[in-house]
Structure 1
Amino acid sequence: MATDQPSQYDDFLTRVRRISNLQTAGGVLSWDQQVMMPEGGTPARSKQLSTLSALSHELLTDEGMATHLDALESTDLDDDRRAVVRELRREHDRAASVPADLVEEISEATSEALSVWQRAKDEDDFEHFAPTLERLVELKREYAAHIDPDADPYAVLFADYEPYLDLETAERVLERLRERLVPLIEAVEASDVSFESPFSGTYDDETQMALARDVLDTLGYPWERGRLDTAPHPFMSGTQFDARVTTRFKPDEPMDALTAVVHEFGHATYQLGLPDEAYGTPLGRSRDLTVHESQSRLWENHVGRTRAFWDLLAPVVSDHLGDVSSGELFEAANRVYPDNLIRVEADELTYHLHIILRFEIERALVSGDLAVADVPEAWNDKMESYLGVRPETDAEGCLQDIHWAHANFGYFPTYSLGSVLAAQLFAAAERDVGDVEAQVREGDFDTLRDWLREHVHRHGQRYTTPDLVREATGEAYTADYFLDYVEGKYGDLYDL
Structure 2
Amino acid sequence: MATEATADESEAPDAYQELLSNYRRIANVGNASGILSWDQQVMMPEGGTPARAQQLSTLSAVHHDLLVDDEVGDLLDELEGADLDEEQSAVVREVRRKYEREARVPTELVEEISSTSSEALSAWEEAKAEDDFETFEPYLEKLVDLKRQYAEHIDPDADPYEVLFQDYEPYVSLDRAETILEELKETLVPMIEEIRSSETPITTDAFEGTWDAEKQEELSRETLTLLGYDWDRGRLDVSSHPFTSGTQFDARVTTRFDEADPLSSLLSTVHEFGHANYQLGLPDEGYATPLGEARDLSVHESQSRLWENHVGRSEAFWELFLPTVKDHFPDASDVTAREAFESINQVYEDNLIRVEADELTYHLHIVIRFEIERALVSGDLDVSDVPETWNDKYEEYLGVRPETDAEGCLQDIHWSHGNFGYFPTYSLGSVMAAQLYETVEDELGDLDERTRNGDFADLHEWLRENVHQYGKRYETDDLVLEATGEEFTADAFTDYVTEKYGALYDLDSA
Identity of aligned residues (%): 65
Report the Cα distance in structure 1 between the residues aligned to 2:148 and 2:341, rounded to whole angstroms: 44
Matched, 1:51 2:62: no
Report the Cα distance in structure 2 between the residues aligned to 1:92 and 1:311, rounded to whole angstroms: 50
Structure 1 residue identity aligned to 2:174: L
Report the Cα distance in structure 2 between the residues aligned to 1:392 and 1:196, rounded to whole angstroms: 26
Match of 1:321 in 2: 329
Match of 2:89 in 1: 82
1:469 pairs, out of 480, 484, 499, with: 480
Q: What SS is found at the alignment partner of 1:140?
A: helix
Q: In the TM superposition, what is the alpha-carbon distance from 1:204 to its structure 2 partner?
A: 2.2
Match of 1:261 in 2: 269
Matched, 1:230 2:241: no
Report the Cα distance in structure 1 between the residues aligned to 2:292 and 2:337, rounded to whole angstroms: 39
Q: In the TM superposition, what is the alpha-carbon distance from 1:5 to its structure 2 partner?
A: 4.9
Q: In 2, are the aligned partners of 1:94 and 1:147 still within 8 Å (CA)?
A: yes
Q: In 2, are the aligned partners of 1:5 and 1:75 still within 8 Å (CA)?
A: no
1:486 pairs, out of 480, 484, 497, with: 497
Structure 2 residue identity aligned to 1:155: E
Q: In the TM superposition, what is the alpha-carbon distance from 1:201 to its structure 2 partner?
A: 2.4
Q: In 2, are the aligned partners of 1:15 and 1:65 still within 8 Å (CA)?
A: yes
Report the Cα distance in structure 1 between the residues aligned to 2:232 and 2:320, rounded to whole angstroms: 24
Match of 1:30 in 2: 37
Matched, 1:270 2:296: no
Report the Cα distance in structure 2 between the residues aligned to 1:295 and 1:10, rounded to whole angstroms: 32
Which 10-residue stretch deviates more, 187-196 or 141-150? 187-196
Report the Cα distance in structure 1 between the residues aligned to 2:157 and 2:321, rounded to whole angstroms: 53
Q: What SS is found at the alignment partner of 1:193?
A: coil
Report the Cα distance in structure 2 between the residues aligned to 1:444 and 1:200, rounded to whole angstroms: 30
Match of 1:279 in 2: 287
Report the Cα distance in structure 1 between the residues aligned to 2:415 and 2:455, rounded to whole angstroms: 38
Q: In 2, are the aligned partners of 1:137 and 1:366 still within 8 Å (CA)?
A: yes
Report the Cα distance in structure 2 between the residues aligned to 1:137 and 1:175, rounded to whole angstroms: 26
Q: What SS is found at the alignment partner of 2:13?
A: helix
Match of 1:62 in 2: 69
2:228 pairs, out of 220, 234, 242, with: 220
Matched, 1:185 2:192: yes
Structure 2 residue identity aligned to 1:87: E
Match of 2:218 in 1: 210
Report the Cα distance in structure 2 between the residues aligned to 1:148 and 1:350, rounded to whole angstroms: 35
Match of 1:346 in 2: 357
Matched, 1:251 2:233: no
Q: What SS is found at the alignment partner of 1:40?
A: helix
Report the Cα distance in structure 1 between the residues aligned to 2:147 and 2:448, rounded to whole angstroms: 44
Q: CA deviation digits over 1:130-183, x for unaligned, max 9?
A: 111000000000000000000000000000000000000010000111111000
Matched, 1:130 2:113: no
Structure 1 residue identity aligned to 2:222: D
Match of 2:171 in 1: 164
Q: CA deviation digits over 1:82-124, x for unaligned, max 9?
A: 0000000000000001000000110111011110000000001
Match of 1:426 in 2: 437
Structure 2 residue identity aligned to 1:198: A
Q: In 2, are the aligned partners of 1:256 and 1:345 still within 8 Å (CA)?
A: yes
Matched, 1:304 2:309: no
User: Runs of 5+ in structure 1 lacking a partner?
Assistant: none
Q: In 2, are the aligned partners of 1:274 and 1:457 still within 8 Å (CA)?
A: yes
Q: CA deviation digits over 1:342-375, x for unaligned, max 9?
A: 0000000000000000000000000000000000
Report the Cα distance in structure 2 between the residues aligned to 1:242 and 1:332, rounded to whole angstroms: 34
Q: In 2, are the aligned partners of 1:5 and 1:72 still within 8 Å (CA)?
A: no
Match of 2:8 in 1: none
Match of 2:5 in 1: none
Report the Cα distance in structure 1 between the residues aligned to 2:204 and 2:62, rounded to whole angstroms: 52
Q: In the TM superposition, what is the alpha-carbon distance from 1:74 to its structure 2 partner?
A: 2.8
Q: What SS is found at the alignment partner of 1:160?
A: helix
Match of 1:437 in 2: 448
In the superposition, the TM-score normalised over structure 1's length comes to 0.98
Match of 1:151 in 2: 158
Report the Cα distance in structure 1 between the residues aligned to 2:211 and 2:227, rounded to whole angstroms: 23
Q: In the TM superposition, what is the alpha-carbon distance from 1:197 to its structure 2 partner?
A: 2.1
Q: In 2, are the aligned partners of 1:294 and 1:421 still within 8 Å (CA)?
A: yes
Matched, 1:379 2:390: yes
Q: What SS is found at the alignment partner of 2:245?
A: strand
In the superposition, the TM-score normalised over structure 2's length comes to 0.96
User: Runs of 5+ in structure 2 lacking a partner?
Assistant: 1-10
Structure 2 residue identity aligned to 1:317: V
Report the Cα distance in structure 2 between the residues aligned to 1:200 and 1:162, rounded to whole angstroms: 39
Structure 2 residue identity aligned to 1:406: H
Structure 2 residue identity aligned to 1:111: S
The 1:5–1:265 alpha-carbon spacing in structure 2 relative to 1, beyond 3 Å, is: closer
2:297 pairs, out of 281, 289, 297, with: 289
Q: CA deviation digits over 1:349-403, x for unaligned, max 9?
A: 0000000000000000000000000000100000000000000000000000000
Structure 1 residue identity aligned to 2:129: D
Q: In 2, are the aligned partners of 1:338 and 1:350 still within 8 Å (CA)?
A: no
| Number of residue pairs aligned between Structure 1 and Structure 2 | 493
